[in-house]
Amino acid sequence: MTSNNDAFLSVRDLIVEYTSEGRVIHAVNGVSFELERGKTLGLVGETGAGKTSTAKAIMRILPDPPAKIRSGEIVLDGQDLLKIDEKEMRKIRGRKVSMIFQDPMTALNPIMKIGEQISEVIKMHNDITWREANQQAAKMLEKVGIPSDRFNEYPHQFSGGMKQRVVIAIALACSPELLIADEPTTALDVTIQAQVLDMINKLKKDFNTSMIMISHNLGVVAEVCDDIAVIYAGEIIEYGGKEAIFDHPTHPYTLGLFGAVPHLYDDVDRLSPIPGLPPDPTNLPAGCHFSPRCPHGQELCRIEKKGLVEIQPGHFSRCTRFADQGR
């Protein structure tokens, strides 16, 4: 992959393992991608593919034990996050990089006022008084559409959608340069999803934030992202611009993903999901991870490890079988 030294975030060959009861789970197996300032990268994949592990690795909030970052580079704005010490990392968390979590119902401290949960992160990264932090937090609440006189209320007094807005407020309170959104709308119902996405988009534009959007929902990804990386079994198997991926997918898995979504005007009798299950992360196949499920797989696929090949400028895939379709 051509390395772009102007990239704001550059992840290279990231390997994350979980050790549990003597068995090693290979969650992330050599993931590499880049993100430019102000752009949004979509990380798409099934549950358990390694998306959240990658995200948490970037913020270094993986539960240790059992997780460990085995190797790799995560260069943010010229600084390798994996090489700095914890004290330095803390200055970055919440300020330069922040995260929106998947489940708003459990992401907030149930016995702490929501306003305080916002002002906490502000006070932590700025040398101001609590009063000033509270004031800023109140403004943040307004920005996400919550009346600031609800500052002193507790999470259980809010609906799911509003809780998620509080989470967003916390994430954006210090104007981070990189925002990682881990399935921010999955736990919400469809009408709220649209509102929350709109808000994220707007705030992103206001602050010129770079974003990594993790989702297994292709619709969400289409709305928000500039580039897309498809993850399967801890590897990126296809990577490119939004149009390239959506219009000319080449990897059988990506094809399967799109095939699984019924088109609005098609007369579909049955949904066609991808048959089979993701591989056992403690015992991954030697060659292509997708080969056991691949309808077009050949013997060579099972044995030979496939690297990312640039099919088109900026469009990479691990499977070249359908590379022609990429044109």
Partner 1 sequence: MGRYILRRLLWMIPVILGVTILIFTIMYLIPGDPAKMMLGADSTPEQVEAKRQELGLNDSYFVRLGKYVGAIVLHFDFGESWVYHTPVTTELIRRFPRTLTIAFICILLQIFVGTPLGIIAAVNHNGLGDRISQFISIFGVSLPNFWVALMLVLFFSVRLGWLPPYGIGGIQYYILPCIALSFPGIATQARQTRSSMLEVIRSDYIVTARAKGMSENRVIFRHALPNALLPVVTIIGNGIGMLLAGAVVIESIFSIPGIGMYLVGGINARDYAVVQSSVIFLAIVFTFVMLLVDLVYALIDPRIKAQFAGKKRRKNYA
Partner 2 sequence: MLNATAPESSPPKIKKQGEFIVVARRLSKNPMAVISFFVTVFLVLIAIFAPLIAPYPYDKQDLMHTRAAPSAQHLFGTDELGRDVFSRVIWGSRFSLSIGILAVLLGTVVGLFLGAIAGYFGGLADDIIMRIMDVLQSIPGILLAITISVVLGPGFFNTLLALSIGGIAMGCRLTRASILNIRTQEYLEAATSINASTPRIIIRHVLPNSFSPLLVSSTMSIGNVIMAAAMLSFIGLGIQPPTPEWGSMIAGGRNLIRTSPWMVTFPGIFIMLTVLALNLFGDGLRDALDPKLKK
Residues in touch with partner 2 (CB under 8 A): 20, 275-277, 279-280, 291-298
Complex with partner 1: residue 182 or 227, whichever CB lies closer: 182
The item of partner 2, partner 1, none sharing an interface with residue 291, based on CB under 5 to 8 Å by kind, is: partner 2
Residue 3 in the binding site for partner 1 (CB under 8 A): no
Residue 111 in the binding site for partner 1 (CB under 8 A): yes
How far apart, in Å, are the Cα atoms of 243 and each of 20, 247, 259, 326? 40, 6, 16, 11
Can you give the length of the chain in residues?
327
Which pairing describes strands 235-241 and 227-232: parallel, antiparallel, or unpaired?
A: antiparallel
What's the CA gap between 238 and 261, in Å, rounded? 18
Complex with partner 1: residue 36 or 103, whichever CB lies closer: 103
Cβ neighbours of residue 204 under 8 Å, at least 6 residues apart?
A: 40, 179, 211
Residue 93 in the binding site for partner 1 (CB under 8 A): yes
What's the CA gap between 35 and 5, in Å, rounded? 11
Tell which one of 14, 59, 187, 294 touches partner 1 (CB under 8 A): 59
Residue 303 in the binding site for partner 1 (CB under 8 A): no
Residue 162 in the binding site for partner 1 (CB under 8 A): yes
Stretch binding partner 1 (CB under 8 A), from 10-18, 28-36, 146-154, 278-286: 146-154
Minimal distance in Å, beta carbon 280 to partner 2? 8
Residue 139 in the binding site for partner 1 (CB under 8 A): no
What's the CA gap between 30 and 12, in Å, rounded? 7
Helices (H) and strands (E) in the chain — how many of each?
Answer: 11, 12
Q: In what order do the strands lie in the sheet with 97-100?
A: 97-100, 178-182, 210-215, 40-44, 227-232, 235-241, 315-317, 309-312
Tell which one of 27, 31, 170, 203 touches partner 1 (CB under 8 A): 170
The item of partner 1, partner 2, none sharing an interface with residue 297, based on CB under 5 to 8 Å by kind, is: partner 2
What's the CA gap between 45 and 230, in Å, rounded? 6
The item of partner 1, partner 2, none sharing an interface with residue 125, based on CB under 5 to 8 Å by kind, is: partner 1
What's the CA gap between 39 and 135, in Å, rounded? 30
Answer whether 159's CB lies under 8 Å from 165's CB: no
Tell which one of 3, 47, 129, 157 touches partner 1 (CB under 8 A): 157
Minimal distance in Å, beta carbon 298 to partner 2? 8
| Binding site residues, partner 1, CB under 8 A | 59, 61, 89-95, 98-99, 101, 103, 106-112, 120-121, 124-125, 150, 153-154, 156-159, 161-162, 167, 170, 191-192
